[in-house]
Structure 1
């Protein structure tokens, strides 16, 4: 693990002490300006090309969701996505949270169509017991700006430390939580969050979609959301680095 991270330029100083503290206390960290404009443009083009090409099958490798457009297995669907799951800042955040070996669980995309996208508050792992180690970390790559109106993700800071699940504390996890915050940021930003934090999509109240990619990681003792060994293409394997292969467990 350490060798792979070092080769991908991850060090003890990749995240500042303040950034590490925010991950510890709040459970999420928003980083702006991570993607340059050319990269954003290329991802948008690839995103829409894949949507047109895959049609009704889009996202089926992992999950399809009513009211959203989804893509899955982006590891195998373009070099433009490689830098997402190997980005030093993201990997440093994952290692800081999990504190042990980990792999990419999946690299997917999701955007809510106009009028849709609301989710109940949830954690990606389900209920935890008090003191149980963290198992999963997610990152949201903002391909479009996240605004208060276009379905931005909501998070409830600090809830990664809560035992149980949102339903144990709220009568209706579909509703608003008094402490929830929206992730609002320009395109090209990345939100790293402990996926045990309560979070959920909100309704897209605009006339256009709001695109995002999700690089999702899990501790290595757990199964990946998408079995990368089963899905890996030879062209992908030959293209990526040894460290990237380690992250994919291929």
Structure 2
């Protein structure tokens, strides 16, 4: 259950992403919901911007986001098993917000054979087109170039992009160098996600701002 099939590994290598269904059991999902609400209550400006969400790095309820074997196996394909937690943060775009231009999470292109960052998005609420599902362009982590022009604008659209829908308890793993973006939460239904970013050892002590 904690290992990946050859097909899953191949998808990660060639397309740069993999959706792992049903990773979180009901009790763990409920614990994360409760911890999110507790942390959110201490923040004054919920919904004030498109990337709002609590810092989850040190909360024990989210420790599984650092250690789940199947998720780490998927991340390890992208980072050659050189895995170090960079941060855990929440994102919950309010109604009418969340649309981003396509971007990557590093300031310059990286060689396809040596990705340096990878993400695991822990889905805490059902994620669909109407509440801000993640958009990504499969295979773009191998292009060694950044999104530019209209692709990098919030209303831009790439002809090869996909909108990934997921259920609460799923985990979306993808290269941080894959072109990706949030979509607009048009319905106002909650769409809480734990963003867990991992890096190689040489970056573990660096604090480059998340883009």
What is the TM-score of this pair, normalised by structure 1? 0.76
3-state SS in 2 of match to 1:166: coil
Offset at residue 130 of structure 1 (A): 4.6
Question: Is the aligned partner of 1:171 residue 2:150?
Answer: yes
Partner of 1:70: 53
Write the deviation string for residues 158-185 of structure 1: whole angstroms up to 9, x where unpaired: 0001122011xx5342211111111101
Separation of aligned partners in 1, 2:111 and 2:50: 35
Write the deviation string for residues 131-171 of structure 1: whole angstroms up to 9, x where unpaired: 5611000010000001110001101000001122011xx53
Partner of 1:185: 166
Structure 2: segments with no counterpart, 5+ residues: none
Q: How many residues align?
A: 206
- Moved >6 Å (runs of 4+): none
Offset at residue 224 of structure 1 (A): 4.5
Closer, same or farther: CA 226–172 of 1 in aligned 2, 3 Å: closer
Question: Is the aligned partner of 1:137 residue 2:118?
Answer: yes
Question: Is the aligned partner of 1:212 residue 2:193?
Answer: yes
Partner of 2:96: 115
Closer, same or farther: CA 129–65 of 1 in aligned 2, 3 Å: farther
Partner of 2:43: 54
Structure 1: segments with no counterpart, 5+ residues: 1-8, 59-63, 228-250
Offset at residue 93 of structure 1 (A): 1.5
In our comparison, the structure showing a higher alpha carbon Rg is: 1
Offset at residue 98 of structure 1 (A): 1.2
Do the aligned residues in 1 keep the contact of 2:84 with 2:204 (CA within 8 Å)?
Answer: no
Separation of aligned partners in 2, 1:194 and 1:44: 26
Write the deviation string for residues 22-63 of structure 1: whole angstroms up to 9, x where unpaired: 00111000011111112112211111111012334x8xxxxx
Q: Which moved more, 1:206-215 or 1:187-196?
A: 206-215
Could you say what the CA RMSD is over the residues aligned between the two structures, in angstroms?
A: 2.2
Write the deviation string for residues 84-129 of structure 1: whole angstroms up to 9, x where unpaired: 1111111112221111523100011101000000111001113315
